[in-house]
Amino acid sequence: MKRVGFILKVRKDYIEEYKAHHQNVWPEMKIALTKNGWNNYSLFMRKDGLMFGYFEAKDSFINSLEGMSKEAINKKWQDLMSPYFEIPEGAAPDQSMLELEEVFHID
């Protein structure tokens, strides 16, 4: 298991709508995430839209991303979510995540 932290930025004018979508994540998307090693997955957001994500990958961040890239439901979710993020036009949010280096863990 590898602990993974990443950041993304939600456009300020879309924050509430983005949060609403995450109150109703599609069951198929949750299944795909779990299947591809996105365990204990959480998202945290500042008021300006800067978001920190955390999950525990089965193997690695790259393997978890690659697994999701093969899921049809992920393509639909990424297409839906793309307009909400400050990323280059046409980019997928999951391919724009900036992985953070873990520098401390209490265990």
10-residue mean pLDDT profile of the chain (107 residues): values are 95 97 96 96 97 95 95 95 87 85 93
Please report the pLDDT score of residue 91 as a whole number.
Answer: 80
Q: What CATH number does the domain located at 2-100 have?
A: 3.30.70.100
| Burial status of residue 79 (CB atoms within 10 A of its CB: 0-12, 13-18, 19 or more) | exposed
Scanning the structure block, which residue is given the tokens 């924050």?
15
| pTM reported for the whole predicted model | 0.88
* 85: nearest Cα among 77, 75, 76, 96: 96
Please report the pLDDT score of residue 8 as a whole number.
Answer: 94
Taking the domains of the chain in order of start, what are their residue ranges?
2-100
Please report the pLDDT score of residue 106 as a whole number.
Answer: 93
